[in-house]
């Protein structure tokens, strides 16, 4: 009687696979940092930190009457930066909600063959 032996050998080295995953992770981080909203957040963060440092310096070296003015400037800058970043936050939340709706629709369509047929027909019609 003839018997066949099927041996499976790994085609990739585990260290190479880990290195490739690390490189892909690094590339995804670079892409995320290059987005417009990330620059806005970093710029607002550095602006808020520099303003906080200057207000702290003013409070340490000022007389009693000037402290209130420094804190008013600080909070005005914080509120303005929050208002400026709100546009990017709203855009991110809307994109997340849209992706969530699409994921739920596809999950439902995978269980309902009629809806899946309709979606496939619509996709084929657009091509």
Confidence of residue 13 (pLDDT cuts 50, 70, 90): confident
Distant-in-sequence contacts of 5-8, Cβ < 8 A, 24+ apart: none
User: What's this model's pTM, rounded to 2 decimal places?
Assistant: 0.38
Distance CA 55, CA 116 (A): 60
Confidence of residue 9 (pLDDT cuts 50, 70, 90): confident
pLDDT, tens digit, 9 for 90 and up, residues 87-122: 778 888 899 899 999 888 888 888 888 888 888 888
Name the residue with tokens 């929050």.
Answer: 82
| Closest to 58 in 3D by CA, of 75, 46, 76, 70 | 70
Please give the backbone phi and psi of residue 104, each rounded to the nearest 5 degrees, phi first: -65, -35
């Amino acid at each position: 009687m003839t018997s066949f032996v099927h041996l499976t050998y790994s085609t990739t080295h585990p260290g190479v696979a880990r290195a490739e995953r690390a490189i892909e992770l690094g590339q995804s981080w670079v892409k995320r940092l290059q987005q417009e909203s990330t620059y806005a957040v970093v710029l607002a963060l550095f602006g808020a930190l520099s303003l906080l440092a200057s207000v702290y310096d003013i409070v340490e070296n000022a007389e009693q009457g000037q402290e209130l003015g420094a804190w008013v400037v600080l909070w005005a800058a914080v509120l303005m930066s929050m208002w400026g970043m709100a546009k990017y936050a709203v855009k991110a939340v809307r994109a997340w909600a849209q992706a969530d709706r699409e994921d739920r629709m596809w999950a439902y369509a995978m269980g309902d063959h009629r809806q899946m047929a309709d979606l496939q027909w619509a996709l084929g019609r657009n091509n």
